[in-house]
Amino acid sequence: MSEEIKKFLYVNRKAPYGTIYALESLEVVLIGAAFDQDVSLAFLDDGVFQLTKGQDTGAIGVKNFSPTFRALGDYEVTKLYVEAESLAERGLSADDLQDITYEDEDDDWAEKPSIRIVNRAEMADIMADQDVVLSF
Amino acid sequence: MKIGVVVSEGPYTHQAADSAYHFVKAALAAGHEVPRVFFYHDGVNVSTRLSVPPQDERNIQVNWSALAAEHGTDLVVCIAAAQRRGLLDENEAKRQGKDSDNIAEGFRISGLGQLIEMGIQTDRLVTFGD
């Protein structure tokens, strides 16, 4: 395996159900976590719906994979950037999102929030800072 | 430059597999390296050898297989995405108890790790999809 560490950003732009992009994006993130790269996730446009709490897919007969986001901390995926404008445009706020946390090994395993709300300009800077961007 | 390519939409429905093909041909002709192309989402459907498009249309799978034969490009089909959509190689068909396989020459089925590895090992990653 390569010793080089690159910055990987997974951009999630689509609603969690209706198409398979969100689910298959998460599958890449989980596999990618084994490669010890510097991983971030971005949620914008309808992608912000992926993180909402209280998802119930019972009536549409597909798997509710939203609990998996709460396990990302265990995979050392701890940076989930959510675009403020995308939330606002959809009548959502940070309170509508799941509590997703990680334990910070550099801070005596203190539990910290993984979700970071950023504005559109900050999101652009985050994207510009990456080596590899995969958009779903 | 070393370029990795991702194809993430299905053939014929979407231009992605065609555009990626033309891009790879042009990149190789310009002296770049394209060690691997990774097929994901509906892009895995490019790899079936059972598609039979009308004879006056381009055959997307045949184009890619020929490119792999000529240039040695590693055409990797994501196994998780492939299994959902009915794309199986001989081993996987046996393992799953299916009566046939359908992967075309030049393609191979492997894991998502191949996508991450491609991102690490190439200078640029170019995605063709929506």
> What percent of chain A stands above pLDDT 90?
97
User: What backbone torsions phi and psi does residue A13 show, to the nearest 5 degrees?
Assistant: -115, -5
What confidence tens digit (pLDDT) does each residue in B84-111 have? 999 999 999 999 999 999 999 999 999 9
User: Which top CATH class is A7-135?
Assistant: alpha beta
Contact B41 A31 (CB under 8 A): no
Could you give the ipTM of this predicted complex?
0.91
The whole-model pTM stands at 0.94
- DSSP assignment of B41-79, as one string? GGGGGGGBTT----TTS--HHHHHHHHHHHH--EEEEEH
Candidates A24, A110, A12, A27; CA nearest to A72 is: A27
Residue A13 has pLDDT above 60, yes or no: yes
What confidence tens digit (pLDDT) does each residue in A93-115 have? 999 999 999 999 999 999 999 99
Domain extent listing, chain A: 7-135
Residue A2 has pLDDT above 70, yes or no: no
Residue A135 in contact with partner chain B when CB distance is under 8 A: yes
Closest CB to B121: pick one of A2, A24, A133: A2
Instruction: Report the CATH number of the B2-32+39-124 domain.
Output: 3.40.1260.10
| Predicted pLDDT of residue A1 | 47
Domain extent listing, chain B: 2-32+39-124
DSSP state of B106: T
Contact B116 A4 (CB under 8 A): no
